[in-house]
Structure 1
Amino acid sequence: MNAASSSSRRHPARSTGLSDAPIWRRLQPFCAGTLVVVLIGIPLWLVVATAGKSRGEALTPDLSPPSHWRLLANLEEVWRQGRVPAAFFGSLLIVVPAVIGVLVVGSMAAWILARRRSRLTATLYALAISGIVLPPAIVTLVLLLRQLGLAGSAIGMICVYMGIYLSTVIFFVTGFVRTIPASLEEAAQIDGAGPVRVFVRVVLPLLRPVLATATILICLYVWNDVFYAFFIVGGRLDTLPLNLFQVASAGLYLNNWHLIFAYVILMSLPLVAVFAVAQRRIISGITNGAVR
């Protein structure tokens, strides 16, 4: 026994079954941190540093810090002369109804597709998520909106975004609904709840984590979109990306990279706020689900 204990003291790794981790595992945190700095930190610093420079320093954007920070002054100039408030409310007019509408319609459709098992439902699900890999034809969309009298209107743009991103919401929510026990819905039905009440009172609260994730993705896509907005509402309604495209070609912003990057910062602040709120929802939803 004494010999065994002395042997274990001389060879602790052999007695406990532990060994030194491979060098690649020890380098993983360093590699991950380096990757984050290269892919996120450097571009972010380039935007902030250029937005804080004067016009002369920002003629050739680089990673050097400004000799005198003018970030707040540049942001104020962009806000006053770049028609940012009107473009901001134009973006809100499209983004908020589009995101809410696609989340509500997509989650209801995903609930039905997840609970009903048949060949018809499987076919409908395949068709519903096909929009993820099949890009919409912009010419067809414009012609269809003209026939419906919605071309150049906010309602037409909202309908386009809902149609484009409905497949994404259905794909995310359907898989999440299948993990929810059907006994919860059956208990509510026994208590006399109808389908709408079951969805609103039982299913929808449990979908908060996945809906928060979908909200981040869809807000990111819709808020930064310039392609579809240019062809559908271009010239009739200002959004932040469209306004940036227009003023960047005008005399005020021509080669004024410090103002262009300051505009980018202003345009990104609402997305940062949405991400912060949705991230809290994701964490709280996962925690509540684990406790339950």
Structure 2
Amino acid sequence: MKSRIFQPVAAVVLAAVVIGIPLWLVVATAGKSQAEAIDPDLSPPADWQLIENFRRVWTEADVPAALVGSLLVVVPTVVAVLILGSMAAWVLARRTSRLTALLYALGISGIILPPAVVTVVLLLRQLGLAGTTVGMIGVYVGIYLSTVIFFVTGFVRTIPDALEEAARIDGAGPVAVFLRVVLPLLRPVLATATILICLYVWNDVFYAFFVVGGRLDTLPLNLFRVASAGLYLNNWHLIFAYVILMSLPLVAVFAVAQRRIISGITGGAVK
């Protein structure tokens, strides 16, 4: 009996320590002055300057332009990955041949196999897409398409075939069946995939740096640029304030989609 009570309490305490301490460190440091934040620690600031630090970062680091750049990459990437991934997953889930099984294995292999960065960059140069937003979106779509296929395929298998058969009897074609019957039922798992893809793409520096090469200023690239240029040298309060600003859109997306996340994960994992 005691173990049943102790285990959930221990889990809550562990989660609070693992998540709460780093979160408090970020918020407390972002609210300090430059002198207090030289050596970041868990002590609260003597005088909270969080709003003032937000204002400095917003203007000095040119955050609005970087925010627009991030949205120009993230939004098309998420839309393309969700549409292409859900359509491919629907076909792979409804076919049971050996060829389909092989295609499914190839489709989700991107989760395990790392992308060849040098080959990707050379290919983009041959196509004339190196250093462009379209090329960057194409790279992200290719990288994270496997994740959507993996989640959505298992979820589609839980949907009864009778629903699609009824739509076909009424004269609906494949596109109409997918858009009117299958796609509305995929909202929970697509919400989960949206969170994951947004998290990956929004915080990415590595692929953005090599593919775009600084031509498009996203939030992570902008933070890397200003920190490397010495603008934020020893200004940990501004760096942590920038991190909070950069995380707020992700928090908003999570708040909107959080009701469907758990059902999407469990629904896609049972099959």
Instruction: Please classify the TM superposition score into its range, dividing by the shorter chain length.
Output: over 0.9
What are the within-5 Å matches in structure 2 for residues 1-292 of structure 1? 21=1, 23-282=2-261
Take 2:103 and 2:21, find their aligned partners in 1: how far apart are those partners? 44
Take 1:251 and 1:171, find their aligned partners in 2: how far apart are those partners? 42
Asked if 2 retains the 8 angstrom alpha-carbon contact of 1:90 and 1:237, the reply is: yes
Task: Name the amino acid aligned to 2:220.
Answer: P
Take 2:8 and 2:106, find their aligned partners in 1: how far apart are those partners? 42
Deviation at 1:222, TM superposition (A): 0.3
**Structure 1: 5+ residue stretches without partners:** 1-20, 287-292
CA distances 1:61-108 after superposition (whole Å, capped 9, x unpaired): 000000000000000000010110000000000000000000000000
Cα RMSD, aligned residues only: 1.3
Task: Name the amino acid aligned to 2:120.
Answer: L
CA distances 1:40-74 after superposition (whole Å, capped 9, x unpaired): 10000000000000000000000000000000000
Asked if 2 retains the 8 angstrom alpha-carbon contact of 1:82 and 1:247, the reply is: yes
Deviation at 1:234, TM superposition (A): 2.3
Take 1:61 and 1:285, find their aligned partners in 2: how far apart are those partners? 38
Q: TM-score, normalised by structure 2?
A: 0.95
1:9 — aligned with what?
none
- Segment of structure 1 superposing worse, 233-242 or 272-281: 272-281
CA distances 1:136-160 after superposition (whole Å, capped 9, x unpaired): 0110110000000000000000000
- Segment of structure 1 superposing worse, 55-64 or 246-255: 246-255
Deviation at 1:281, TM superposition (A): 4.3
Q: TM-score, normalised by structure 1?
A: 0.89
Task: Name the amino acid aligned to 1:52.
Answer: G
Count of residue pairs the alignment pairs up: 265
Task: Name the amino acid aligned to 1:62.
Answer: D
Percent pairwise identity:
79
Asked if 2 retains the 8 angstrom alpha-carbon contact of 1:157 and 1:232, the reply is: yes
Q: What secondary structure does 2:114 align onto?
A: coil
CA distances 1:166-218 after superposition (whole Å, capped 9, x unpaired): 00000000000000000000000000000000000000000000000000001
1:290 — aligned with what?
none
Q: Which has the larger radius of gyration?
A: 1
Take 1:233 and 1:268, find their aligned partners in 2: how far apart are those partners? 22
Q: What secondary structure does 1:66 align onto?
A: coil
Task: Name the amino acid aligned to 1:159.
Answer: G
Asked if 2 retains the 8 angstrom alpha-carbon contact of 1:234 and 1:242, the reply is: no
List 4+ stretches of structure 1 deviating above 4 A: 281-286
Take 1:202 and 1:212, find their aligned partners in 2: how far apart are those partners? 17
**Structure 2: 5+ residue stretches without partners:** 266-271
Take 1:284 and 1:37, find their aligned partners in 2: how far apart are those partners? 24
Take 1:239 and 1:276, find their aligned partners in 2: how far apart are those partners? 23
Task: Name the amino acid aligned to 2:58.
Answer: W
Asked if 1 retains the 8 angstrom alpha-carbon contact of 2:131 and 2:213, the reply is: yes
1:4 — aligned with what?
none
Task: Name the amino acid aligned to 1:155.
Answer: V
Deviation at 1:235, TM superposition (A): 1.5
Deviation at 1:33, TM superposition (A): 1.5
CA pair 63-265 structure 1, distance change in 2 beyond 3 A: same
